[in-house]
Amino acid sequence: MSRKSWLALAFILLILAAGFLGGLVVSGRMSLTSPSVAAPEDQARPTATPGAPLAGLPDLSAVAERAVRASVNISSTQQVPVDPFFRMFFGGDLEMPQTSLGSGVLVSGDGYILTNSHVVQSPQAEIKVTLSDDREFDATVVGVDPWTDLAVLKIAVQNASPLPWGDSSALKIAEWVLAVGNPFSFNQTVTAGIVSAVNRHDPQLATYNDFIQTDAAINPGNSGGALVNARGELIGINTLIYSQTGGYQGVGFAIPANLAREIMEQLKTNREIVRGSIGELELRTLSAPVAARLGTTQGVFINQMYRNQPAFQAGLQPGDVITRLNDQPIKDESQLRRLIAGTPVNSTVRVEVVRDGARRTFEVRVIRMPPPRRRM
């Protein structure tokens, strides 16, 4: 065979060998990359015990079950005047029923219930309470305190399943909590979250409360329900949300249990809460730069006041900056109002102000705080 024939045969054999190797690669019998070894199934997927909590997360199911047993649904109905437009046609003092729905929590075995005053609406309202086992009771209004938005009810039940009290002053930020209530009339709903902030107070929230802020979902109907810690203790009464839509946005507020318990005991004893006042003042907390320009480090600015009330009669004027009350430094408006509210009626308080860069002190008589204007 000639040399040219051998070269042609070698070229044909080379082509056939290349085709054979390519077939192995395509069929999967040969890999051009490093081999990978699959881990055994029990190593690839960690096993978990059914019903056990994930690592790092608490199992709150027993706490939720206990909280649900102590949760109640509240229906309040009162008669309110009809719109004046309809009176033009029908005449007389026409009234129509107005119903409010909300939540509450059993705090004693003999039927005492804590809720919000805006859920009760009025001490004269007709109140129906439904327990978690669907038993319904007529409730008696023991007392309401609109300033803290708390109310106490009593139903004729024995051996109820109340929640134990917790110490709200011991709460820590990021502590797990449950909110229990009846949002949108979905009875005994439980939502979970954390404590977002403590001692939260702001004029847009309320005047006399240091709220617990939580991101546990709170919606209309949750008002008056329990905020519960991971030990199953009552540490707050859910009362409001901050929302631009009217629904849950992760910013809810609860009245601390320590305050709620104190108000409840006073309402059970006296049927009302008596607070002090030095008159209706329009106040503004000063920022540090503004306070410095006015000659102080901090304080509360009097923007407006009434002439016929104790503060003006004692010598205070619009434009004064209140810096101390009975030798206690004043940091903000909420603190000042709480201190005055806790002062006995008919006593006097010593108010230090800065006026035109000079410090002055006035003795102001404390009168009984009038009831708040009714919410519409």
Residues near 245 by Cβ (< 8 Å), separated by ≥ 6?
A: none
The percent helix, strand, coil of the chain (3-state, each to 5) is: 25, 35, 45
**Helix/strand/coil (H/E/C) assignment for every residue in 270-295:** HCCCCCEECCCEEEEECCHHHHHHCC
Please spell the DSSP secondary structure of 107-134, one letter per residue.
Answer: -STT-EEEE-HHHH--TTSEEEEE-TTS
Q: Which of 75, 118, 168, 210 is catalytic?
A: 118
Task: Quote the CA–CA distance of 35 and 254 in Å, as a whole number.
Answer: 59
Q: Which amino acid is at 219?
A: N
φ, ψ for residue 17, nearest 5 deg: -65, -40
Based on the number of CB atoms within 10 Å of its own CB, is 222 exposed (0-12), middle (13-18) or buried (19 or more)?
A: buried
Cα angle, residue 330 at apex, residues 324 and 336 outer, rounded to 5°: 100
Cβ–Cβ contacts within 10 Å for residue 166, how many? 21
Does the annotation mark 118 as catalytic? Answer: yes
Q: Which of 100, 122, 149, 277 is catalytic?
A: 149
Q: Which of 71, 223, 277, 334 is catalytic?
A: 223
Does the annotation mark 149 as catalytic? Answer: yes
- Chain-centroid distance, C-alpha 180: 12
Give the bridge partners for 368, in sequence order.
Answer: 276
Does the annotation mark 196 as catalytic? Answer: no
Cite the active site residues.
118, 149, 223
